[in-house]
Amino acid sequence: MNTPRALRALTFSSPGRKRPVLRGRALLNEAAVGPKFSRQARMAAAGFPVPRFFCVPAAVFTEVLRPVRAELDALLTGAGTADAATLEKRASALRETVLAAPVPKAVERQVYEAFDSAFGPDAVVSVRSSVVGTRTDTGEDSAHDAFAGISDSFLYVTRERLLDRVRQCWASGFGSRALLYRAVRGGGQQDFAVAVGVQRMEFGRRSFVLFTCDPLTGARDRVLAAGLGIGEGVVQEKVPVDHYFVDRRGDAVRSVPAHKAHMMQENPDRLADGPRTVSAPEELRDAPALTGEQIQQVVAVGDRIEKLFGCPQDIEGTFTADGRLHILQARPVVLELDRQRLWSNANITESYPDVTTALTYSFAQRFYREDFHDLYRLLGVPRKVLDRHEGELRGMIGLLRGRVYYSLSTWYTLHGLSRTFPLWRGSFERMMGMSPSVTHVRPTPPLTDPTLLPATAAALTRLVWRLLTHGAAVKDFETWWERTLTAHRDAAKTADPLQLAQLMRSLWREAGDRWGITLVNDLLLQLHETLVMKMLDRWVPQADPGLHSDLLCGGKENRSVTILMSIVDIAERIRAAPGVLDALTERPTEEVWDEIDGNEYGSDLADRMRTHAHLHGDRGLQELKLEVPVPRDQPAQLLRTAAEYARGDLTCALLRERDAEARRTGERLLAGLLAGHPLRRGALHAALAGQRRYIDIRENTRYRRSELYGFGRQVYRRLGADLAARGLLERAEDVVHLTEEEILGTYDGTAVTGDLRGLAALRQAEFHARGAELPMDFVTMGPVQDALPDLNRDTAAAGTLLGLGSSGGVVRGTARVVIDPHDVGEPFDDMILIARETDPGWLFLMLSARGIVVERGTLLSHTAISGRKFGIPTIVALPHATSRIPDGARVEMDGAAGTVKILKEDEA
């Protein structure tokens, strides 16, 4: 016996020991029937409308082929490295060997009995293959491999052809495309078996494929492709399809309709001939393939199936003539999450609005690295683990077209290093203002995961300790920062340029060992906010949404409130000082400030403004952008803001009374709502008190961050002046177009270029030509610059051809228009394959291409899936590509944007 050791568990011995037909709950056995059919069984058990089916398990395949195993193994040897012609001959011999193997009578009898029992002798069924791997993660439709249509399926099968189709399914495991596919994917040619599913045939009239995430990027928005007739036309790229893009923010639908001139359906006179392509009725050709109600029904079912399996799904289904929905298949969307990046500026744009300079970006990048490194250390993540994630720590934010974005996928990776993350993941996503379109698809192991209980217990214990000692730790942080900042400011007054550079590096070192406590506070604030929101939702669901905000008012003033009150106090003094408002109306603010600074309106107002600038001068508009001055640099800014308040009737007393009244109103309302529930009221008051305390700490420490940025602003302003004096920069202010390391390295010998003038000029030009702003949140797959979203997805520049981008990447090459894959000649190195459509038989040719463009297909089709799987830039649904793109032309294609530019036609 030459059965491979890995397959012995799949061996069928006899009807008495192993059943040759599996039905009901037995279909849940993935090792016996493979992921494809076990998933269908799970869906059916969960109540989804899956047509009835039974399976001939993989053990039967192994048993039937046992007598010819040695012959098969000999033919399989070296098959993965053969050329196309040799591989096809080898595959033909393998298939003939499989088809000639005798099927035990017991198996044959039970298959027919199952058919008659399940469907009736006159029924019509589909017969489908499913490859079963030696591990649960290698079978067809597993979480790691979709197999992309490699196995055969047969439709409209009658009883008399049943056994022949089962044999052909077994033989498809040895087809040329299956052999090539396993070779490319690195799988063994022998370590597999084939299960066969026999399922009631549904005569579909409108069919679809739904991805519960974007298959191109992994974004959480759904993509739905639908066409007329049965699903084979949609899946095999044989008919035109409509595309529907359904986002998760209100389920808005964007439609990309197609002219559906053709459809696939059965031949009612000769069912055994299988499906055929026919002309669609005139009235259906430009009508939507699915109604709005059907779209919502499919999406809702898709979301439930995704929840059942715990990851994004690729779902095939159909509507029959009676309007009933049938789910035919569901499999995991295979995503290479290490190539995915989730981007959002929903929260960070408040700190870094619009275009940002290189200096501000590099400073912010360093701040995030130091801040979060210290947070994870405080949460108990070992330093050696953090060292392995240094790249992620330095990549928490990105600069895309000049704008700062969170790289959220990096945040998920880093946060996941702490076993406390499941506790605060929801509040983190809410705090970041994240769209449901860009949440991470990879689930976080729950706190109750038994394999992680020791680590979870240790992490939670440490978090409780942080909670108990937080007040003292914050006081220690404040004391340390006052001492450290004062020392650095004093030293900077007399420092030369090299000493300034050393002071900046020194402050970063100190901050990197201390600043994490501010993020611990944010974490505790998130947990308290979540607790309060849950209490209000459960105990007073009828309350106005503003109640929570009112209950947070009042109490001790934090630093942000103190700064606001200081400005309003200055405004009251301006209002009371004769002539100041008139002067501000008649003359520039800077000129009036010079007069105030010279005590022309009395020393009281001047002293009050100087005190504010000394105590709070790092708080201003866009205070975290080092290229923007703040009141410490330009006190006229403070005067301008205070003057706006002075022109109204706002006073400090009025602000405090409004705050106190909001709190009193909230307390009265809460007392009424919780009358008779003193324990609930007490618990809610305690949770609110904690939330107020953490809010105050957050606002106080946020100003400390402003002071850190303010120190950096002062240092780099002085260094910019020095570089300009040395002739290394044209102007002192050009320093903002250099990064921190480029500036500091110029003084301590670590710089990699001396041409700061040229570098700053280049960056300045880029700064002023950043182009249109990207969406607030989006997802990229692969090299980021190649995968940025196309803001004009449905339009293209003159001379540019537009299809549907389905696998990212920008490449240039020579177009090879191919109608018949058997008549293509030898592939060449820079070939861009242009075709009407492809199927698994094109795999050899596709793997030789630098890029793929097809006229038909969907984001969910074989061409698109294969392009993404093998990392080949791919465009589908580009109308008349084979006639619009000349054979031999030099072209440039963008697989994310879906565009093709013809650069130069072959003169011949």
Give the helix/strand (H/E) hosting 813: strand 810-818
Which CATH number belongs to the domain containing residue 883 in this structure?
3.50.30.10
Same domain, 118 and 210: no
462 and 440 inside one domain: yes
**Least confident piece of the model among 60-64, 136-140, 536-540, 714-718:** 136-140
Q: Per-residue pLDDT tens for 283-322? A: 999 999 999 999 999 999 999 999 999 889 999 999 999 9
Does residue 721 share a domain with residue 699?
Answer: yes
Residue 679 lies in a domain: yes
Judgement on whether residues 41 and 148 belong to the same structural domain of the protein:
yes
Task: Say if residue 817 is in the same domain as residue 858.
Answer: yes
* Structure-model confidence comparison of residues 527 and 218, the more confident one: 527
Residue 688 dihedral angles phi and psi, to the nearest 5°:
-65, -40
- Residues 106, 244 within the same domain: no
524-546 pLDDT tens trace: 999 999 999 999 999 999 988 78
Cβ-proximal residues to 248 (8 Å cutoff; 6+ apart), any chain: 220, 221, 222, 435, 436, 437
Residues 26 and 155 in one domain: yes
H helix intervals, 148-239: 162-172, 176-185, 231-235
CATH of the domain at 84: 3.30.1490.20
**CA triplet 589, 595, 598: central angle to 5 degrees?**
140
Q: What is the pLDDT of residue 276?
A: 87
CATH code assigned at 274: 3.30.470.20
**Is residue 549 assigned to a domain?**
no
Residue 5 has pLDDT above 80, yes or no: no
Which pLDDT score, from 0 to 100, does residue 642 have?
93
The answer to whether residue 389 scores a pLDDT higher than 70 is yes
pLDDT tens-digit map of 13-49:
333 346 899 999 999 999 999 999 999 999 999 999 9
| Within a domain: 228 | yes
- Note whether 311 and 356 are same-domain residues: no
Q: What is the mean pLDDT of residues 169-179?
A: 86
Identify the pLDDT of residue 8.
37
Report pLDDT for 394.
Answer: 97
Task: Enumerate the β-bridge partners of residue 192.
Answer: 133
Q: Same structural domain for residues 493 and 438? A: yes
Q: Is 267 domain-assigned?
A: yes
**pLDDT beyond 90 at 907:** no
In this structure, of 55-69, 193-207, 456-470, 852-866, the range with the lowest mean pLDDT score is 852-866
The angle, 0 to 180 degrees and rounded to 10, between the axes of the packed helices 162-172 and 58-65 is 80
Last residue of a domain, one of 333, 366, 394: 333
The predicted structure's pLDDT at residue 7: 39
Asked if residue 650 is part of any domain, the answer here is yes
Phi and psi (nearest 5°) for 51?
Answer: -60, 145
In the predicted structure, residue 137 carries a pLDDT above the cut 80: no
- Tell me: the pLDDT tens digits for 446-501? 888 888 999 999 999 999 999 999 999 999 999 999 999 999 999 999 999 999 99
The answer to whether 893 and 851 have CB atoms below 8 angstroms apart is yes
DSSP string spanning 764-805?
Answer: HHHHTT--SPPPSEEEEESSGGGS---TTTT---TTEEE-EE
Number of domains observed in the structure of the chain: 5
Asked whether residue 616 falls in the same domain as residue 698, the answer is: no
Report pLDDT digits (tens) over 238-281. 888 999 999 887 778 999 898 999 998 888 878 777 888 899 99
State pLDDT tens for residues 220-235.
999 999 999 998 888 8
Last residue within a domain, chosen from 201, 227, 262: 201
Residue 773 domain-assigned?
no
Q: What integer pLDDT is reported at residue 4 of this predicted model?
A: 41
Structure tokens at 793: 């997805």
Same-domain check for residues 277 and 217: yes
Query: What local confidence, expressed as pLDDT, does residue 134 receive?
Result: 65
Strand-pair category, 153-157 with 192-200: unpaired
**Structural domain for 165, as ranges:** 1-201
User: Which residue, of 299, 333, 367, is where some domain finishes?
Assistant: 333
Report strand pairing: 777-781 vs 810-818: unpaired
Judge whether 784 lies within some domain.
no
Answer whether 423's CB lies under 8 Å from 445's CB.
no
Q: Quick: pLDDT tens for 765-809.
A: 999 988 788 988 899 988 888 788 876 555 555 678 988 888 888
Q: Above pLDDT 90, what percent of the chain?
A: 65
pLDDT tens digits along 338-365? 889 999 998 898 899 989 999 999 999 9
The verdict on 248 and 150 lying in the same domain is no
Q: Establish if 502 belongs to a structural domain.
A: yes
**Stretch 438-443: mean pLDDT, rounded?**
81
